[in-house]
Amino acid sequence: MIKVVAKHYVKEDKIQNVIELAKELAATTVKEEGCIKYEMYQDEKDKTILTMIEEWQDKKVLEKHMSSEHFQRIVPLMSEFMTKSGEINIYSKVV
């Protein structure tokens, strides 16, 4: 199992835009083979920090997701609303 934690730093006046794009992305992504979980969370102290937490069957299906039409179309749109580059960490389950 692969877990992805993608932290995004969003312009304050664009938070809702990013959430709407994330909803669109998630609606299609959760139907992908190998997607176990695909959710976005908002930091309780800093509302401009939105974090995607994803679980995938393996790295192969994650790579397929990242090359999908909806990912390639929506992620660049979301990037326009960021204050800086995000942090993406990919984890493999060990226990």
Copy the structure tokens of residue 79: 């990037």
- pLDDT by residue (tens digit) across 63-77? 999 999 999 999 999
pLDDT at 30: 98
The pLDDT, as a whole number, for residue 36 is 98
pLDDT band per the 50, 70, 90 thresholds, residue 82: very high
Tell me what pLDDT residue 32 has: 98
pTM more than 0.85: yes
Map out the domains of the chain with their CATH numbers.
Answer: 2-92 (3.30.70.100)
Burial of 18 (0-12, 13-18, 19+ CB in 10 A): buried
- pLDDT of res. 49: 99
- Strands, sheet with 49-56, edge to edge from the N-terminal-most edge strand: 35-42, 49-56, 2-10, 82-92
